[in-house]
Chains A and B, each alone.
Chain A
């Protein structure tokens, strides 16, 4: 294993987002904090409680999960796609790095960004509510696992896309709707049938609900089923990215 090369790629990918912290860290934290203020405070006053949990506490895990999803996806997708566009991808293709080394380095850097945002959002939200964490292992497991899933997803999208329009396709028309319909702001069983059943086909629901179990100890789904879904999705996406890089799909002619 090319350890120096691997560490270098992690350092480079991390420094990339650290050079523009306003855009990569602060902006998502403020956006999420605004959701928190508007939905939690302004509207939460009317909703008060959801299944015995104060609404403002109910939405925190969902908002954190939303930040993890967006930031891990954005970090790999934009970095990889822009380097394809600028031609700097050639540095990676010429370097003696295996497909595994490249994938894991991108994922580690994306996790660094997503978890930084997540922790900041959690700190801000907790300052208004409570710093208590119900199941720390589950909370950490879901945060890391989902970060890996979407970092890998971002790589698939970046490699497969030929232009910005395609790059945006899956995040805008699949991920964002699934996230909003994934129980960030409501409990799935609050939906009328058949929607309460249909919504269970949405994998993001299990991710949001799993983190909710970890942070506030309340869930509608089995958190272990959630973890299995996260690990399974990561395995599938990981295999796809590995195969793409190993074969040089759309990267080597």
Chain B
């Protein structure tokens, strides 16, 4: 579902890059022509392995890097020709943690408001500190913050001037699970207020839970661009996983015929049950598709030779989609 929860008065897309390319003087091509259009009010997740070009693309849109080709606009403002106006509407949470040990948390946020021409507004600062669970640290020096707190301070800095488009480059790296959920809620809350959110993340479940649309980028090229649901339907595979009491040394022919595989160790069978366009679990009351019945029948027929201890289905995940698209890369996480 492409979300258009908030209507933008100007019809300009929140972010639009046309043929954005980046070639470094060394000859390395970080981006080779990215066409991407993100609608106002959307939560968009950009995924790709390390070095795919995600941060480079964000840096160009935020004005930290210069494109060597193409153009980028934020809310219709060209990031080069209308650089100052474009910067005013953008907030960026950079991937690398930085902090100025000279100042306290509240001071840092006041400076940040000021840079963006916003008059001092402590109520706004308090609201953001509360949302990011930093209220108790308002008067602490930045050096005293833990890693996760420093990252949340970066998020607070990016939001304090109420930007209309927020870029979150790995916002939850090093943030514990509870807080990550809180952050997701806050991201959704921002979207409800009309903020457009572009995020990159290592946690594919994060993209799955949050994003209206997902773009997968690799080696500077955009590979796919769609809603998580459509990507799951197209690239994901549902599997039936069968745990065995005793390890099998060979895969029974009946199951091999159904495309099953034996996991290393021989204790688990994995049978694909590709059901295009139907990522929903069978628990929704619909009759099991023919493939599932066939797998169960084959297992039942083998009952004498194998003892089943557990049977579950594995739903397609973005991780599968991701691995299918860029799995050739070592350590490919988003």
Interface residues of A (CB under 8 A from B): 2-5, 7-9, 11-12, 15-16, 19, 83, 86-88, 90-98, 248, 252-253
Contact of A248 among B24, B62, B66, B96 (CB under 8 A): B66
Contacts of A92 in B (CB 8 A): 115
Q: Of B32-40, B84-92, B279-287, which stretch is located at the interface?
A: B84-92
B65 CB–A CB distance under 8 Å: yes
| CB proximity of B109 to chain A, nearest CB, Å | 11
Question: Residues 81-106 of chain B: 1 if any A CB is under 8 Å from the residue's CB, otherwise 0?
Answer: 00011011010101011111111000
Closest 8 CB pairs between A and B?
A8-B114, A87-B98, A95-B115, A96-B84, A96-B87, A253-B65, A96-B88, A4-B117
- Given A96-B85, A96-B117, CB of A253 within 8 Å of CB of B102: no
User: Which chain B residue lies CB-closest to A93?
Assistant: B64
* Cross-chain contact A253 with B66 (CB below 8 angstroms): yes
Contact of A4 among B96, B103, B114, B157 (CB under 8 A): B114
The total of interchain contacts (Cβ-Cβ below 8 angstroms) comes to 83
B203 CB–A CB distance under 8 Å: no
Say which size band chain B's interface belongs to: 20 to 34
User: Which chain A residue lies CB-closest to B85?
Assistant: A96
* Cross-chain contact B119 with A4 (CB below 8 angstroms): yes
* Cross-chain contact B117 with A86 (CB below 8 angstroms): no
B59 CB–A CB distance under 8 Å: yes
A2 to B90, CA, bound (A): 16
* Cross-chain contact A94 with B98 (CB below 8 angstroms): no
Contacts of B116 in A (CB 8 A): 5, 95-96
User: Which chain B residue lies CB-closest to A10?
Assistant: B114
Contacts of A87 in B (CB 8 A): 94, 96-98
A12 to B62, CA, bound (A): 23
- Given A8-B115, A97-B115, CB of A86 within 8 Å of CB of B100: yes
* Cross-chain contact B102 with A252 (CB below 8 angstroms): no
* Cross-chain contact A252 with B64 (CB below 8 angstroms): yes
Told that A2-B115, A96-B88 touch, could you supply 11 new A-B pairs with CB distance under 8 A?
A4-B119, A86-B100, A87-B94, A87-B97, A91-B112, A91-B115, A93-B63, A96-B85, A97-B84, A248-B66, A252-B63
